Structure 1
């Protein structure tokens, strides 16, 4: 299986993973379709950056293990969009639908403890705010599951993570959608979203936790965060989880003013700020549930060889060597201590 940039996909290649339209979950192309030029052009029009392609030279295709099914992520985005529109119209937010989709996400995450979060997914581009909040929810629940939170706690964590940025709906859209970094005054306004989110959520649920996640997800261990500048002991443990998930997804996402960083680099940078900015236990859990090199990544090793990631989970990372005397051989990167990654060159 290969993850190939859409511009490099050729007619005759075989699709390795079913494609869905995000707005309604409609199937666009099913796994196993032999791609034609018109299919490829249509997928470009939908904004798909990559396609999974079957590798005819491999003995067998590895299963793509994902934290949640594509249909569930699409549903979560739709439910979140609806909640945001309700806030914009000054209507009552349907928290019941949020809770239902979070329960579905929790169910799927708990199905398989091999799951590792992979950045390069098949979804087409959508508004950053929606996908970011859903990604943060998935990451937070993977971290919470690894740490050992109870089922009830995971559901509360998931609701708070899904709604952590709901306060941004009350921020000036010109600031929210500015195609560049915010200046000081704009950032001060943006920082108000934490308190606004708290106000939206504080009376919507029997538990105070989701509202406090919205309030505290930008607080830091050393008191350098906002809005209150509280230190580690004053920050709720679920807020600490969402804080790490939020930063990781932001660092690994392409923005107009920022090029996405490879996940292994983002983890290293976050780990360097353990205890100062982030809770050490949470960061360690993040490093265990993230796929450091998503499927399709081309790796340059310190010995000068290159390889492509063909499968990744929490327990193994299979890499097919692309050159040298062992060309075509698959090795488990987690078991090869002498095979050190120097750089991620990108998708195939």
Structure 2
């Protein structure tokens, strides 16, 4: 049913995607709305939205206390994330000990995350909350699984296909279990020999996943997630037409997660800056459709996030521009600053 944004309630579920006047996605279809979602719709001057029909039992369940509405999903998602990190660590240990992994254990490890995807539509908030320098390899695997799931959904794929993409992302770096930790955690640039060893993880992962009788598409995603459309990737220097579609999704998720993560040899990069870097990579390196869909759906999640500018001032992002996603309208105190009009100003950090 179609109702006024002013009549929305926390717990309402959107019936269709909601776009603002210039075509940017603000809230996805089937989102269970929280207070921030409703504020975001109002900020975008959206008057009406379609929501799923309310039933009496749904209304009772969709009116938690203010504290519950604000905190329960985040706590639940954090617990699921930590459980998934622990699960991928166990899979790494299992494959080191036995040479293969059990599909049932993969399901058990991935399920906590998959079961909570629906609770968190603000991917930016999730990444800001859960990103740290600890356990990079394991956290990266979980993040790539999560982002691959969302990319698949944003491409219009079914829930089953999205969960399959998420699982492929979750297992994409399994081959790193055969790489020496001293190399993986080296606090500096790798030598050519060390980098050649690291690159073997793609082949190792492919072999391990096939040995474990998991679907070949998941094995191919592990093998090809470092291939690039122009043939400059590894291990086989494949070109676009020879790269599996699932590997192209995982590649975008892999690059984004790696660039925003805190590493032993460099600081994490700002989430919005990394989207700009991804945009450049979509011209010849990463699949352009997948990359642009990812960027277009991530951008609305930056609205209402706090920022630090290069002049030391703090503010919030008010609105993004259709012609320049990466230089939004920001509010500093009572002043509104349109960043395209101030080329000397840059966003240095986005935070909760």
TM bucket, shorter chain: 0.5 to 0.7
Q: Is the 8 A contact 1:116 1:289 kept in 2?
A: no
Report matched runs for 1:104-253 at 5 Å: 104-110=112-118, 114-118=121-125, 119-121=127-129, 126-205=134-213, 207-253=215-261
Q: Is the 8 A contact 1:252 1:263 kept in 2?
A: yes
Please give the alpha-carbon distance, in whole angstroms, between the structure 2 residues aligned to 1:219 and 1:67.
Answer: 36
Residue 80 of structure 2 corresponds to residue 72 of structure 1: yes
Q: What is the alpha-carbon root mean square deviation over aligned residues?
A: 3.6
Please give the alpha-carbon distance, in whole angstroms, between the structure 2 residues aligned to 1:305 and 1:169.
Answer: 43
Q: Is the 8 A contact 2:310 2:348 kept in 1?
A: no
Partner secondary structure for residue 347 of structure 2: strand
Q: CA deviation at 1:69?
A: 0.9
Please give the alpha-carbon distance, in whole angstroms, between the structure 1 residues aligned to 2:123 and 2:204.
Answer: 33
Alignment equivalent of 1:343, drawn from 335, 343, 346: 346
Question: Which structure 2 residue ranges, 5 or more long, are not aligned?
Answer: 1-65, 321-327
Question: Which structure 1 residue ranges, 5 or more long, are not aligned?
Answer: 1-59, 313-317, 327-332
Q: Is the 8 A contact 1:156 1:209 kept in 2?
A: no
Q: Greater helix percent: which structure?
A: 2
Q: Is the 8 A contact 1:143 1:286 kept in 2?
A: yes
Alignment equivalent of 1:88, drawn from 85, 96, 105: 96
TM-score (norm 2): 0.67
Query: Quick one: structure 1 residues 184 and 305, their matched pair in 2 at CA, closer, same or farther if it must change by over 3 Å?
Result: closer
Please give the alpha-carbon distance, in whole angstroms, between the structure 1 residues aligned to 2:313 and 2:341.
Answer: 9
Please give the alpha-carbon distance, in whole angstroms, between the structure 2 residues aligned to 1:301 and 1:68.
Answer: 35
Q: Is the 8 A contact 2:199 2:235 kept in 1?
A: yes
Partner of 2:333: 323
Q: CA deviation at 1:166?
A: 0.7
Partner secondary structure for residue 307 of structure 2: strand
Partner of 1:9: none
Q: Is the 8 A contact 1:67 1:138 kept in 2?
A: no
Partner of 2:30: none
Q: Is the 8 A contact 1:68 1:109 kept in 2?
A: no
Residue 319 of structure 2 corresponds to residue 300 of structure 1: no
Aligned residues: 274
Partner secondary structure for residue 141 of structure 2: helix
Partner of 1:18: none
Q: CA deviation at 1:203?
A: 3.3
